[in-house]
Structure 1
Amino acid sequence: MMVVVLIDWDVNAAAKTEKPFHFGFKRSIGGNLPSIEQEGFSNIIQKNDALFLGNTTKKVLYLTFDNGYENGFTAPILDTLREKNVPATFFVTGHYIQDQPDLIKRMVDEGHIIGNHSWSHPDMTTMSNDQIRQELAKVRDGVAAISSQKSMQYLRPPRGIFSDRVLAVSREEGYTSVFWSLAYKDWEVNNQKGGEYAYQQIMKQLHPGSIMLIHSVSSDNAAALPRVIDDARAKGYEFESLDTLMAEQLLPFTF
């Protein structure tokens, strides 16, 4: 009798030998499109239908926030978004779900999207496939339990660390991985430089199809956001949601 032993090679082998990538990009200058070609992972991004840029055929911006923990600025940010009628996606962790259920509910009630930033913010390239699935499921179920958003479509890999396997497993779970094409070093809460600094850092990188990564823990971002929105619109840009981008079915993009 022949006995067949099934081994999860992804867990026992690939997780130990795969190459992890830290997301990076060549920034936009003067409205020109940014690039990830020099980073060596553009083929993996395309292969797994992950997002780096939005619709580059028009002057549109996609505003996204990473919410690992609350620092007192999300409510003012939401006030600004409501006043300016701007949609956004908030990528949240398990800590945020447990600590700020009222803000999660408010995001959803005011028409924003909640995205998955993992439960414990780990380096998912070091985890088994099942562990990745558990991380993602806990966030999805946690948001569903406290808000009217019962499904979850978008994932931002924690720390910007990913691999072909991580993106593939996430895609199997129904997620579109969302990276970014506009960002600056804004997450150091003890090194904030003022709203004018944030405004300049964001505005100089605007380009068609910008997926904007902003950290909600930043007092600079909260202060700059109203002016960023007004002045981006004055330059002819409009703000759209990731759902609108996905509905346009413009994937894959050319990098």
Structure 2
Amino acid sequence: MTKDQLLTRLCTRRRALLAGAAALGAAGTAGLLSLGPGGEPAGPAPATGPQARRTLKPSAYRLQPLAGYSPPRTEPGRTLVRREPFLRVSGRGRSMVLTFDDGPDPRYTPDILDTLAKYDVRAMFFVCGEMAVEHRDLLARMADEGHVVGNHTWSHPMLTRLTRGRIRSEMERTCDVIEEAYGERPLWFRAPYGAWNRAVFQLGAELGMEPLAWTVDTLDWSTPGTRTIVRRVERGAAPGVVVLSHDAGGDRAQSVRALRDYLPQLLDSGYHITVPYRRYA
């Protein structure tokens, strides 16, 4: 298959997925990310205690995309710029988002994709350009299987220490690679180390991306043990939670094994593992 044929196939697949997401949104079956006054992320605090871990019937429908998004509000010469990243999702049902940073890595990303496919759920992958450019096939697979790919810069630097020009380069180069390998430009970005400042928000907005952080940090990068990672996800699970894990940047064997453990438990507890297909106003 030629490169042009591959991109045509991916774009066709993505259009079908987006159409399905829009239909679900119109039917009122999906939740939404929420904003507070002035454009800051908002939403109810995560549930705690026994009620948060109350066992419900397994979900009969695994994929419930967050829908209802529209392009960012704009005025002549002005693009809406967030002052804080989104930290969580809110809306109907017990929705959660699983995110994986720093990849793709052929040692671990395929195993994560296999587990997600086994349970028919979708996740978000915030990729680094220098990894993506070497493993375009994995981005193509993410597109084909309905996952969302976000921008995690080119080389994972501390953006708050860079000039605006270097920040733009880190983001823009990664956008270009994602578009070529995934089939469309990213709609979401995440700052390495969670280090945000006004320039990062502004440049991300100029490139058409919304900022997403996280609610639960598994700290899997520190290789604390598979059981510890699982426990952190289980204890942090609640409606609206965004979970941070990694599929690259070191030995991620524990992250792979942990996903195999906690994912079916989340689903059997009634959580909908979902992804946002579109940004919103």
Q: Do these two structures clear the TM 0.5 threshold for a shared fold by scoring above it?
A: yes
Report the more deviating stretch, 105-114 or 216-225: 216-225
Sequence identity percentage? 27
1:122-161 equivalent positions in 2, closer than 5 A: 122-147=157-182, 149-161=183-195
Cα RMSD, aligned residues only: 2.4
AA at the equivalent of 1:119: W
Which amino acid in the other structure matches residue 225 of structure 2?
Answer: K
Is the CA contact 1:69–1:95 (under 8 Å) kept in the aligned structure 2? no
Q: 1:18-67: per-residue Cα shift (whole Å, max 9, x none)? A: xxxxxxxx9874339xxxxxxxxxxxxx9436310111553101111002
The correspondence for 1:210, drawn from 241, 244, 248, is 241
The structure that has the greater radius of gyration is: 1
Which residue is equivalent to 1:181?
215
CA contact (8 A) 1:86 1:240 kept: yes
Length, aligned pairs only: 205
Correspondence for 2:30: none
Aligned counterpart in structure 2 of residue 197 of structure 1, from 200, 216, 228: 228
Residue deviations 1:165-207, cap 9 Å, x none? Answer: 321221222111110001122113xx4513x222112111101
Gap change, CA 1:28 and 1:128, over 3 Å in 2: farther
In structure 2, the partner of 1:62 is 97
- 1:191-240 CA-to-partner distances (Å, cap 9, x unmatched) read 4513x222112111101111111111421221121331211122221111
In the alignment, the residues of structure 2 paired with residue 165 and residue 103 of structure 1 have an alpha-carbon distance, to the nearest angstrom, of: 30
Cα distance in structure 2, aligned partners of 1:97 and 1:68:
7
The normalised TM-score by structure 1 is 0.72
The answer on 1:73 being equivalent to 2:104 is: no
1: CA distance, partners of 2:107 / 2:46: 29
- Separation of aligned partners in 2, 1:220 and 1:120: 23
Q: Structure 2: which 5+ runs fail to align? A: 1-44, 54-80
- Write the distance in 1 (CA, Å) between the matches of 2:104 and 2:274: 25
Letter of the aligned partner of 1:172 in structure 2?
A: E
In structure 2, the residue corresponding to 1:233 is in which secondary structure? helix
Change (3 A) 1:175 1:237: same
1:42 aligned residue? none
Query: Could you say which residue in structure 2 is the equivalent of 1:163?
Result: 197
Residues 59, 207 of structure 1: 8 Å contact kept: yes
Alpha-carbon distance between aligned partners in 2 of 1:95 and 1:53, rounded to the nearest angstrom: 28
1:240 maps onto 2:236 in alignment: no
Secondary structure of 2:85's aligned partner: coil
**TM-score of the superposed pair, with normalisation by structure 2:** 0.66
Alignment-derived partner of residue 36 in structure 1: none
